[in-house]
Amino acid sequence: MGEFIDVALGFPTALFTFPLIVVAGYWLLAAVGLDVLDADTGAGVGDALAAARLGGAPVTVAMSALVAVAWFASLAGSALGVPGAVTLPAALAASWLATAALVRAVRRFVPAGWAAAAGGSRRDLVGRTCVIRTGRVGADFGQAEVTADDGTSAVVQVRVPDSDLAVAGRAEPGALTRGSAALIFDYDPAGEFFWVMPYDAAPGLD
């Protein structure tokens, strides 16, 4: 037991031990119905994850995977006697790869499963409004939250056509930024994302 504690509190495992305790505490509180994640903080973390190509899954799930895998990998490396200078980058790489695989699975299956539970397919989300959850939306980046008729919600990948980027880039009134209302007007099955436009700019809407 003492050896385990020494490894857990030694370099580089100690770098992930405290975050792992925080993650475990969060899930314990979530299990009893307490949500302690601030919305602004969650959105900021979500932007960072998206920039690292880890967007598309719930922030708490992605962060939990990152921390847990990094901790276990660093613990294993330290226990095997691998130098910390080697263990740390290896643990970080393993963490990113494992979380990226998880995010890909979530992107592929969760939206479809959510849509099916809501009584339809992904294309049935076309025509719904959504709320942008990332700092910006571009032709290759963006997430939004869409709500079904039964009140359940999901975070989906969204994009803005190239023809609309000039407006979005100037942050004019029609730009899509975090908190903006948008209209889903099409679905791209190849890219597994939805095309959106500012809700106020939709035909027939003022």
- Same domain flag for 109 and 7: yes
Q: What is the DSSP letter of 206?
A: -
Per-residue model confidence (pLDDT) at position 202: 53
Pick 114 or 188 by higher pLDDT. Answer: 188
Per-residue model confidence (pLDDT) at position 170: 44
Instruction: For residue 71, name the pLDDT band (cuts at 50, 70, 90).
Output: very high
Q: Note whether residue 206 is domain-resident.
A: no
- Same domain flag for 7 and 109: yes
- Reduce the DSSP state of residue 196 to 3 states and report it: strand
- Same domain flag for 13 and 98: yes
Q: Note whether residue 12 is domain-resident.
A: yes
Per-residue model confidence (pLDDT) at position 75: 93
Q: How many CB atoms lie within 10 A of CB 82?
A: 15
- Same domain flag for 12 and 75: yes
Q: Check pLDDT > 80 for residue 110.
A: no
Q: Check pLDDT > 90 for residue 184.
A: yes
Q: Note whether residue 146 is domain-resident.
A: yes
Query: What are the two backbone dihedrals, phi and then psi, of residue 48, each rounded to the nearest 5 degrees?
Result: -65, -40
- Same domain flag for 167 and 74: no
Number of domains present in the structure of the chain:
2
Per-residue model confidence (pLDDT) at position 35: 58
pLDDT tens for residues 134-174? Answer: 888 888 888 888 887 767 777 888 899 876 554 444 444 45
- Same domain flag for 105 and 152: no
CATH of the domain at 155: 2.40.50.140
- Same domain flag for 97 and 128: no
- Same domain flag for 14 and 97: yes
pLDDT tens for residues 75-103? Answer: 999 988 899 999 999 999 999 999 999 88
Instruction: For residue 53, name the pLDDT band (cuts at 50, 70, 90).
Output: confident
Per-residue model confidence (pLDDT) at position 206: 47
Is the pTM for the entire model greater than 0.95?
A: no
Looking only at the bridges linking them, the beta strands covering 153-159 and 193-198 are: parallel
Query: Which range, of 16-25, 35-44, 49-58, 61-70, averages the lowest pLDDT?
Result: 35-44
Domain final position from 114, 132, 154:
114
Tell me the residue range of the domain where 69 lies.
2-114
